[in-house]
Structure 1
C-alpha cells in the first residue's frame, strides 16, 4: 500500500527531528573541542607532563573504552573506598585543643577498625553547546547519602570567562576544591579541619576568569548561601558567604613548574552551636553569632625529569590559613547561658612532599601545626581561658598504584591535637575507580 500524504509528512518530521538532534550534538562536540584547545593554550602544562604521578586514581579515561566519557549521556563514574583504622586513643573523644567546632564537624580519624570509607558517584555531561552539568553524590559509611556537588557551568562565554551555579567546593586554596579521592594523604590537614570544618562547600555562584596570557593567571569570585562552617544557614535573603581567589603559575624549564595563590573567604553565622572545653576541663555547648574571615596562601612546586613523570617525580605543597572570628558568644547554652563579646585570631599551616621513587610507588611526608591564638571571650574569659597549647601532627604515607584506576595506601601518623594525649594512628586504605572519570586539576 502506498504511503498517504499524512504518512509522508510524519516521515519528513521524523527526519527533520533526527537532523536537528544530530546538528545539536555536532555543535556540542565542536564547542567542547574549542574549549579544550583554549584551555591547553592558556594553562600550564597538563598534570601528566609534570610531577603528578600517572598512577593517580582515575586520572584519565582509558583509550580502549571505545568512546570514553561520550559512551553514555551523561558519563558516569563510581569511586569505591575502604579503610582500616587503628588508633591509640578513642576517636569518639576526638577534639582539637583550643578550637571550637560544630558537633557534626568531620574531623579526626573516624571510626576504628574496618569501614567503608566515603564512596562517590559522579555524573557529568554537556547540556547543550552552552552549558555543562555535573553532580557528585557521596555515599557515607553510615548508610547516609549527601549531595557533594551539583552544578551547571557555562562553556562558551568567551574571553576566558566561566560562570558556575549550584552546589560546589569553593575555589579557595589548593586542597579545598579537590575531592577526597585525589588527596595524597588519607585525611585533610589539621588547618582545614579546625578552620574550615575539613572542606568548604556551599550553594551559590562562581565567576572565574582565565587570563589570555602565556603565564597561567586565574581569578574567581563567589557568592553563597553560607550554610557551611565557619558560616551557618541563617535563612537570610542575601548572601551569607563571599570569596575571592587569585592563582598564577607557570613552567621553569622542561622539568619544573609551579602554582601559587591567595584567597579570602567571608562567612556569617547566627547561633552557631559549637563544642568547647571549659577552663575546668568539662565539655560545654556554646553558640556563636558574628562574622568570620579566612585568608589562605597556597603554593605548589612540581618536578619531573624533562617533563616525564612516568618513572620518577616530586611534588612539594604547602598552605597557610588564618581565621578571624568577631561577634558574640553564648557560653554554656544549657546552663550558665552567659553572653559576651568574642574575638579570636587563629591560624594553621602544613607542608608536605610526595616522591614517586619508581613507577607506581610513592612515599610522602606531611608536617603541620595550629596556633589557637589568644581569644578574647569578654565576660566569659575565666570560664573559657585556654592554655595556649599548639596542636600538631606528623604523617608518613606509602602508596602503590597498580594503574590509574586503583590505589592502596598505608599511612602512619602521630596526632597531638589533644593536649598531653598523643594519638598514634595507622590507616590502610584502598581506592578504586569505575567508569569514566575526567582528568584531575593541577
Structure 2
C-alpha cells in the first residue's frame, strides 16, 4: 500500500513538472511574438513617416526648407546619366543592277541606297534618352552613314499631364499606320514594305507637335493629332508660317483570352508640296523633269493580331499584320527638259491629279526562343493619273507593282540578330529581280522595349 502511494506521488510530481515546463515555454513563445510584433510595428511606422515626408516634398517642390540646408556638394559627372544605346546594322545584298531604281507608276520618293549591292553598312543609330525631370522625358537619335550624320529624331514628351493625355514636340516619327514609328532595326524584314517606300521613301517624320489621348475604357482606344512642318515626302520644304502637314489617327485594341491580342487603326495625313521634282518619260521616250505643286492626302488602315501560348511570347509566338493605303494628289505639274528632242523642251504647265493605292500582308512565327521565320506579300496599284494638258507630252504608266519575300532570322539575345531574306521583286515594269539579303543588327547599351 505504501509502495502504491509512493508511485502515485511520483507520477503526480512528474506531470506537474511537465505542465510547469510547458507553461514556461508557452510564455516564452508569447513573449517573443509580442516582441517581434512590436518591432515590426515600429519599423512600419518609421517607413510610413518617411513616405509622408517624401510625398510632402514632392507635392511642394517650391517650398523653402524650415532649417537652412548646408551648401550642396558639387554634382558628380554621373549626376546626369542618360540611357545610351548604339545600333549597328549592315547587310550583304545580291540583286540586279538597275539604274534609277524606283516603283513604276509612282512619283519617286527618293529611296536612298535602293540600288546598293554587295557588302554595305546601313545607318548606325546613336540613341540618347532620359527623364528631364518628373514632368518631361527627352530622346535624340543621331543617324550616321558614309561620313554623314543627321538628327533623325529629337523630341521631348510629357510625363505628368494625366487624364490619359500625352504631348510630344520636336522631330519625331508620325504615329500614323502601324510600322511608321518603327525604326529599321525593329522591323521583321530587311526592308520597308513597298507601300511605305511609295508613300514616304521609308517612313514619315516631321518637326512639329503631337497630342495623344488614351481613353479611360476597358478597351484600348487611342486618339492622336499632329501638326508640323511637313517637309518630308510627299510634302516639300516650304519657308512659310504655319503648319505644312497635319495628321489624325485612332487605334483600337484588346485581348482575346490570355493568348491572343489585336489592334486596328485608321489614319489620315495631309501635306503640301511646292515644286516637288521627279523624272518622267515623255511620249518621245525622252526623260523630262516634272515639278508638282499641290495637296497630297493619304488614308491608311492597319490591322495587327498577335498570339502567344498563355500570353508568354518568350518561347513561341506568331504575329500577323497588314496595312492598306489610298492617296490622292491634286495640283499643278510643270513639264520641262533641256533635251531638244523632248516634247517638254518648252515648259508646259497644266493640272495634275492622281489616285493610287496599295497594301501588304505578312506573318512572322517564332518557333523557338532564337529562331523566327516570316512571309510577306505586297501589291500596289498605280491607279489613275490625269496630266491635264501634259497628257499630250507625258506617258502614263498603268502598272501594279508586286513583291513576295521570305525571311528567317536567328537571335542570340534581344540585342543581337542575323537575318537571311529572299525576295522576288516585280516593282518595276518588265523586270523580275530576285534579291538575296543577309543582314545583321547589333544593339549596344540600354534599349527599351518596342511598342505593340
Category of TM-score, reference length = shorter chain: 0.7 to 0.9
1:73 aligns with 2:81: yes
1:372 to 371, 382, 385: 382
Match of 2:241 in 1: 237
Separation in structure 2 between the aligned mates of residue 282 and residue 100 of structure 1, nearest angstrom: 17
Provide the secondary structure at the position in 2 that maps to 1:93: coil
Contact residue 85 and residue 109 of structure 1 kept, 8 A: no
Summarize the Cα distance change of 1:253–1:370 in structure 2 as closer, same or farther, 3 Å threshold.
Answer: same
1:414 aligns with 2:418: no
Provide the secondary structure at the position in 2 that maps to 1:420: coil
Alpha-carbon deviation of 1:425?
0.6
Separation in structure 2 between the aligned mates of residue 305 and residue 280 of structure 1, nearest angstrom: 61
Gaps of 5+ in 2: 1-66, 339-344
Separation in structure 2 between the aligned mates of residue 92 and residue 406 of structure 1, nearest angstrom: 34
Match of 1:441 in 2: 451
2:296 to 292, 298, 307: 292
1:338 aligns with 2:393: no
1:15 to 57, 65, 70: 70
| CA distances 1:32-62 after superposition (whole Å, capped 9, x unpaired) | xxxxxxxxxxxxxxxxxxxxxxxxxxxxxxx
Summarize the Cα distance change of 1:237–1:227 in structure 2 as closer, same or farther, 3 Å threshold.
Answer: same
1:323 aligns with 2:331: no
Separation in structure 1 between the aligned mates of residue 276 and residue 171 of structure 2, nearest angstrom: 21
Alpha-carbon deviation of 1:214?
1.5
Alpha-carbon deviation of 1:234?
1.1
Contact residue 284 and residue 332 of structure 1 kept, 8 A: yes
Separation in structure 2 between the aligned mates of residue 421 and residue 18 of structure 1, nearest angstrom: 69
Contact residue 129 and residue 155 of structure 1 kept, 8 A: yes
Contact residue 281 and residue 395 of structure 2 kept, 8 A: no
Match of 1:111 in 2: 116
Summarize the Cα distance change of 1:90–1:280 in structure 2 as closer, same or farther, 3 Å threshold.
Answer: farther
Separation in structure 2 between the aligned mates of residue 279 and residue 402 of structure 1, nearest angstrom: 54
Q: C-alpha root-mean-square deviation of aligned residues, in Å? A: 2.0
Gaps of 5+ in 1: 1-11, 23-69
Provide the secondary structure at the position in 2 that maps to 1:381: helix
The 5 A counterparts of 1:116-155 are 116-140=121-145, 142-155=146-159
Alpha-carbon deviation of 1:169?
0.5
Alpha-carbon deviation of 1:17?
3.6
The 5 A counterparts of 1:133-212 are 133-140=138-145, 142-212=146-216
The 5 A counterparts of 1:86-101 are 86-87=94-95, 89-101=96-108
Summarize the Cα distance change of 1:99–1:213 in structure 2 as closer, same or farther, 3 Å threshold.
Answer: same
The total of aligned residue pairs comes to 379
Summarize the Cα distance change of 1:185–1:13 in structure 2 as closer, same or farther, 3 Å threshold.
Answer: farther
Provide the secondary structure at the position in 2 that maps to 1:145: strand
Summarize the Cα distance change of 1:17–1:213 in structure 2 as closer, same or farther, 3 Å threshold.
Answer: farther
Summarize the Cα distance change of 1:130–1:16 in structure 2 as closer, same or farther, 3 Å threshold.
Answer: farther
Summarize the Cα distance change of 1:229–1:297 in structure 2 as closer, same or farther, 3 Å threshold.
Answer: same
Alpha-carbon deviation of 1:305?
1.1
Alpha-carbon deviation of 1:13?
8.0
Separation in structure 2 between the aligned mates of residue 405 and residue 257 of structure 1, nearest angstrom: 25
Contact residue 97 and residue 115 of structure 2 kept, 8 A: no
Separation in structure 2 between the aligned mates of residue 145 and residue 278 of structure 1, nearest angstrom: 37
Match of 1:82 in 2: 90
Summarize the Cα distance change of 1:206–1:332 in structure 2 as closer, same or farther, 3 Å threshold.
Answer: same
Separation in structure 2 between the aligned mates of residue 433 and residue 164 of structure 1, nearest angstrom: 25
Summarize the Cα distance change of 1:307–1:411 in structure 2 as closer, same or farther, 3 Å threshold.
Answer: same
Alpha-carbon deviation of 1:275?
2.4
1:395 to 394, 405, 413: 405
Alpha-carbon deviation of 1:280?
4.0
Provide the secondary structure at the position in 1 that maps to 2:310: helix
> Which is worse superposed, 70-79 or 108-117?
70-79
Larger Rg: 2
Alpha-carbon deviation of 1:215?
1.2
Provide the secondary structure at the position in 2 that maps to 1:358: coil
Separation in structure 2 between the aligned mates of residue 336 and residue 380 of structure 1, nearest angstrom: 12
